[in-house]
Amino acid sequence: MVVLPEGEKVQSFRNLIIERCGEDVGKCIQCGKCSSGCPLAVEMEYIPNQIMELIRLNQEEKVLTSNTFWFCASCQTCSIRCPHDIDIAKPLIKVYPSSTRSFSILSKAMDGYMNWEWLPGSISQPGNP
Amino acid sequence: MTESSQDENITLFTYSEIEEVKGFIGNFEVTIRKKARSVDMSKCTGCGECQQKCPRKIPSEFDMGLGNRKAIYTPFTQAVPNVPVIDREHCTFFTKGKCQVCSKVCPTGAIDYEQQDEFITEKFGAIVVATGFSPFNWTVYGEYGAGKFKDVITGLHLERMLDTSGPTAGKVIRPSDGKEAKTVAFLQCVGSRDPSKGVPYCSRVCCMYTAKHALLLKDHVPDSQSYVFYIDIRSPGKNYEEFVNRVQEESGAIYIRGRVSKIYQKGDKLVVCASDTLLGEPVKIEADLVVLASAMIPQPDAKQLAQKLKIPCDQFGFYTEVHPKLEPVASVTRGIYLTGSCQFPKDIPDTVAMSGAASVGVCSILSQDEMTIEPRIACVDETRCTGCLNCIEVCPFNAIEEKPINGKVLAHVIESLCQGCGNCCSTCRVRAIEVRGFTDEQLYCQIASALEPI
């Protein structure tokens, strides 16, 4: 169940993405070309177009705890093929690791699986785990 | 509108209805009922004194009940002509026999309580039907509150609220408590594309006006947020798609693909439940105001008017054209043209374009002394006709009339009306009436040669 916040608060995650990497998910028309071209979409909890939709619906926690980022191979096929020229891979590669909030959420998600303390540096330098 | 009322070649019959239409192309004889206005149009100066002093207040139809009007009123300020009318159903004088304030304050003595409906018959060369549409009664949707929730309104209500000279002076408020609406949910396809509610067609204008409303809402209430629940965005037209994209980007309207399943009240908020079909997950929002894009349906009396005009209409009551592509504005009855939403749901650019086409069609009739018509029409062999006149009954175009010849009454085809359908030919017992080019003899020859062994 997605519960949408009232008033303008719903734009906060979308605005954060614009601020961080200049990509506006508001342009997305949900054609699904990104997801159908993604070689790893079958493994993902939320496929790329659903990530765009979730960002638009301000579902920060759902986005950051999904396994999509861990399967993303950074091949950028989605970005190249997007008919509205949204660099879809950018939010996936850059925003996620550089968000401090994502680490706190991530720490809960990854707790017990591995020692995640090495992640911040590792992700922010090459760009993707 | 004012320009047309002042043109010397245009006569406006306002507050009037068509009673009867006789005749055919070039010779229509129309009986018009000029309804009793209770105000003498020649005396009234349009000062508006009567409307100010009238003590009776009634919810205004033009303002969708959001504002009030008086019992003596003009529907809206720019109405043409600027002559009020007394609403006899609500007027205190007509219901209780007392009051007469309007006649006391009228400086020209234009109020005439005794006025009766007036019938006039005039001749016309051609007719353009532009009777428009009426909004769908959305209260059939129990899941949207069936009209019980005050804060569930339609696009027309919102349109009146967004008008700076409207009943709320441009403020978007919740009708229940008058507070400003911050979170607004727009529901598209309410009625449209819903065969279970009797409207299987797309109403065509809702996608665009909802986008416009989302944009205007952001202008009027800068800290508002709109959610648009849609099935498909249908934006075919010049710059339409760009406009919808601009609304999503600039005004931040969030478009959610999925029809709303139900609305219920929680405190003073309305909870809108839907499913985001792109995400595959249910969605819930607490909205201040819900705006429904209700379907466009024909006028309630569209079918009766079709009978008066002898023009065909479809199962819903939309008037049908001769050919959807080649003759989109002409009705099957010659000399009658269609335009606007009485034909099918249309937006403003389409209506303007088709109105232009209809008026040019009229001009092409009125500018000629003689008309070229199709050669395949029925003709009566007067030596055979017995005068049973069965053909008159079966003719769908009323193209056959009685004609006295040598003391007998025989059938006669009005050539400009006949469409060559052949109903009369198959009805005639003595084969006295035949369509030129399709005589019985010709048809028998065709059948015989088709059945000949090769």
Sorted by where each begins, the domain ranges of chain A are: 22-124
Assess whether pLDDT exceeds 50 at residue A114. no
| B chain contacts of residue A82, beta-carbon cutoff 8 Å | none
Report, in this order, helix, strand and coil percent for chain B, each rounded to 5. Answer: 25, 25, 45
Chain A hits for B286, Cβ within 8 Å? 6
Contact B124, B260 (CB under 8 A): no
Q: What is the pLDDT of residue B280?
A: 86
pLDDT of residue B231: 92
Residue B375's identity, in one-letter code, is P
The better pLDDT of the pair A7, B245 is held by B245
pLDDT recorded at residue B31: 94
Q: Looking at residue B341, what is its pLDDT?
A: 93
Domain ranges of chain B: 2-125, 133-297, 378-451
Q: Beta strand B68-70 with B57-59: parallel, antiparallel or unpaired?
A: antiparallel
DSSP B326-365: TEEEEESSTTEEE-GGGTS---HHHHHHHHHHHHHHHHHH
Q: CB–CB of B256/B232 below 8 Å?
A: no
What local confidence, expressed as pLDDT, does residue A118 receive? 52
Q: How far apart are CA B319 and CA B306, in angstroms?
A: 7
Mean pLDDT of A72-91: 83
CATH of range B378-451; options 3.40.190.10, 3.40.50.1100, 3.40.50.740, 3.30.70.20: 3.30.70.20
Whether residues B254 and A57 touch (CB distance < 8 A) is answered with yes
Query: Does the predicted model carry a pTM greater than 0.95?
Result: no
Say whether A4 and B257 touch across the interface (CB within 8 A): no
Cβ-based contacts under 8 A for chains A and B: 64
Q: Which of A3, A27, A46 lies closest to B249 in CB terms?
A: A27
- Kindly tell me if the per-residue pLDDT of A70 is higher than 60: yes
Question: Chain B residues with CB inside 8 Å of A1's CB?
Answer: 281-284
- Alpha-carbon distance of A119 to A116, in angstroms, equals 5
pLDDT, position B440: 85
Distances (CA, A) of B111 to B40, B73, B84, B93: 6, 12, 10, 12
Q: What is the per-residue pLDDT for B64?
A: 87
Chain B positions in Cβ-Cβ contact with residue A68 (cut-off 8 Å): none
Beta bridge partners of B434: B379
Task: Name which residue leads in pLDDT, A15 or B159.
Answer: B159
Give me the CATH topology for the region A22-124: Fumarate Reductase Iron-sulfur Protein; Chain B, domain 2 (1.10.1060)
Each of the 454 residues of chain B gets a pLDDT tens digit; together they read 888 888 888 888 989 999 999 888 888 999 999 998 888 888 888 888 888 888 888 898 888 888 888 888 988 888 888 889 988 888 888 888 888 888 888 888 888 888 889 999 999 999 999 999 999 988 898 888 888 898 999 999 999 999 988 888 888 999 888 888 989 999 999 989 988 888 999 999 999 999 999 999 999 988 888 999 999 999 888 999 999 999 988 888 889 999 998 999 988 889 999 998 988 889 999 999 999 999 999 999 999 999 888 888 999 999 999 999 998 999 988 889 999 999 999 999 999 999 999 999 999 888 988 888 888 899 998 888 888 889 998 988 888 988 888 888 899 998 888 888 888 998 999 889 989 888 888 889 999 999 998 7
The whole-number pLDDT of residue A129 equals: 45
CATH architecture of B133-297: 3-Layer(bba) Sandwich (3.50)
The whole-angstrom separation of Cα B256 and Cα A10 is 13
* CA-based nearest residue to A54, from A71, A41, A68, A42: A68
Q: Which residue has the higher pLDDT, B418 or A111?
A: B418
Q: Show the tokens assigned to B349.
A: 């650019």
Q: Using alpha carbons, select from B328, B335, B428, B425 the residue that is nearest to residue B376.
A: B425
- The predicted pLDDT at position A12 comes to 83
Instruction: Give the best residue of B186, B217, B232, B254 to mutate against chain A (max A CB count within 10 A).
Output: B254
| Closest residue on chain A to B288 (Cα) | A6
Task: Please tell me the distance from the alpha carbon of residue B284 to that of residue B260, in angstroms, as a whole number.
Answer: 10
Q: CB neighbours of B65 closer than 8 A, spacing ≥ 6?
A: B59
Does residue B336 or residue A2 have the better pLDDT? B336
CB atoms A53 and B276 under 8 Å? yes
Q: Do residues B292 and B133 make contact, with C-beta atoms less than 8 angstroms apart?
A: no
**Of the partner residues A7, A26, A56, the one whose CB lies closest to the CB of residue B223:** A7
pLDDT of residue B129: 94
